């Protein structure tokens, strides 16, 4: 395998892994958020975004 | 009146959105610098471009594991005193460890590819590579331990102890190239030692480290919030189960009465 091909595979794989993991984290947050009522119709007494902790 | 909110607000705040956009923009610049602007190495040629991924990845992994250890220590120290059992620290430890495992995995992948070009082999059981794979496996074990069903505080304490034990390997990985004769080169940048690289390569490496730090921080913050959401979901499920069991009781007694 040539140096250029190795570099291309290395950089490509790294970006694929990071983007896939980021999308998984965001989509998991959205899926669970919908299940527990955050991001959908908010009734009084239901969980709001403000119930979540702010910045770490 | 019901109020509809934006889905994207579930784990994001204006700060994390800015951090996310900054991370994407910085990654694009990093790719341009690393792949096109920075010069090829005299010895390694184009393969040296793996440096800008490989080295920052392990730095962020180290940083994440340090954060995991500090959070685990604080969790162990405060879990009995705080109202919420210090679960904030447990969440932070878990999210940082997961991001650390992702970046350790990337370090291994990029290192293997780089090794194939420079050493002629993907893998060699030398001290640096072996201790790094051990680090990856022990933190995978830590993440598996966090998923075992148990009382959250008890599980958090077990995980915290495991995190502190796992951390022993971090300095061993870092200093393995100094302590043993290895195929792996010594650290490119080290405190108190003259850098092995200079000029555009040096600045590109530092810039890459900054970019990966931004991306890592964004991931840790989001993962932390997802863990919090998972906890809320589990608590809601538990409440629903308990209330459904309470509702079942009168039905059971009615049924028993009908039989007698």
What ipTM describes this predicted complex?
0.84
pLDDT-above-90 percentage for chain B: 58
Tell me: pLDDT of B150 over 90: no
Contact by Cβ (8 Å): B101, B140: yes
Q: Mean pLDDT, chain B, as a whole number?
A: 87
In the prediction, which pLDDT does B2 show? 42
In the prediction, which pLDDT does B84 show? 66
In the prediction, which pLDDT does B5 show? 47
User: How many residues does the structure list for chain B?
Assistant: 260
Write out pLDDT tens, residues B30-65: 999 999 999 988 888 888 999 999 999 999 999 999
Write out pLDDT tens, residues B84-126: 678 889 999 999 999 999 999 999 999 999 999 988 889 989 8
Q: Name every chain A residue with its beta carbon within 8 A of the beta carbon of B222.
A: 22, 25-26, 29
In the prediction, which pLDDT does B94 show? 96
Mean pLDDT of B64-84: 87
Q: Name every chain B residue with its beta carbon within 8 A of the beta carbon of A4.
A: 46
Distance from CA of B224 to the nearest CA of A (A): 8
Distances in Å between the Cα of B109 and the Cα atoms of A1, A9, B77, B123 are 15, 10, 37, 10
Are residues A14 and B230, on separate chains, in Cβ contact within 8 Å? no
Q: Which of B113, B215, B226 sits opposite A6 (nearest CB)?
A: B113
Tell me: pLDDT of B220 over 60: yes
Tell me: pLDDT of B217 over 60: yes
In the prediction, which pLDDT does B142 show? 97
Decide if B37 touches A, using CB distance below 8 A. no
Minimum mean pLDDT among A13-22, B141-150, B184-193: which range? Answer: B184-193
The beta-carbon contacts of A39-45 under 8 Å, at least 24 apart in sequence, are: A39/B5, A39/B6, A39/B7, A39/B9, A39/B10, A40/B4, A40/B5, A41/B2, A41/B3, A41/B4, A42/B2, A42/B3, A42/B4, A42/B5, A43/B2
Decide if B17 touches A, using CB distance below 8 A. no
In the prediction, which pLDDT does B189 show? 66
Residue A49 and residue B98: Cα distance in Å, rounded? 24
Interface test with A, best of B3, B5, B10 (most A CBs within 10 A): B10
Domain boundaries of chain B, sorted by first residue: 19-183+205-230
Going residue by residue through chain A, which has 56 residues, state the pLDDT in tens, using 9 for 90 and above: 788 999 999 999 999 999 999 999 999 999 998 888 775 444 444 444 444 544 43
Write out pLDDT tens, residues B8-19: 455 678 888 999
């Amino acid at each position: 395998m040539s140096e250029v091909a190795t570099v291309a595979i290395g950089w490509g794989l790294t970006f694929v892994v990071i983007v896939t993991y980021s999308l998984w984290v965001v989509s998991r947050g959205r899926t669970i958020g919908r299940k527990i009522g955050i991001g959908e119709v908010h009734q009084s007494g239901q969980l709001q975004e403000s119930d979540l902790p702010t910045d770490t | 009146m019901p109020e509809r909110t934006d889905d994207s607000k579930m784990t994001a705040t204006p700060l994390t959105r800015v951090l996310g956009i900054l991370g994407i923009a910085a990654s694009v610049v990093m790719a341009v610098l690393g792949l096109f602007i920075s010069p090829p190495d005299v010895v390694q040629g184009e393969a040296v471009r793996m440096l800008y991924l490989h080295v920052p990845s392990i730095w962020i992994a180290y940083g994440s594991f340090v954060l995991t250890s500090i959070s685990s220590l604080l969790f162990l120290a405060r879990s009995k005193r705080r109202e919420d059992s210090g679960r904030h620290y447990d969440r932070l430890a878990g999210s940082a460890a997961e991001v650390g495992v992702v970046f350790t995995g990337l370090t291994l992948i990029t290192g293997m590819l780089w090794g194939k070009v420079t050493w002629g082999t993907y893998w060699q059981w030398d001290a640096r590579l072996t201790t790094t794979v051990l680090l990856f496996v022990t933190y995978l074990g830590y993440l598996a331990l966090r998923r075992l069903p148990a009382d959250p505080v008890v599980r958090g304490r077990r995980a915290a102890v495991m995190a502190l034990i796992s951390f022993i390997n971090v300095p061993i990985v870092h200093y393995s190239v100094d302590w043993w004769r290895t195929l792996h080169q010594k650290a490119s940048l080290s405190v108190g030692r003259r850098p092995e690289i200079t000029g555009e390569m040096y600045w590109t490496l530092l810039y890459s480290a900054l970019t990966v730090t931004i991306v890592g921080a964004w991931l840790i913050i989001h993962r932390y919030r997802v863990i919090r959401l998972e906890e809320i979901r589990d608590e809601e499920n538990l409440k629903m189960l308990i209330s459904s069991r309470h509702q079942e009781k009168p039905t059971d007694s009615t049924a028993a009465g009908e039989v007698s």
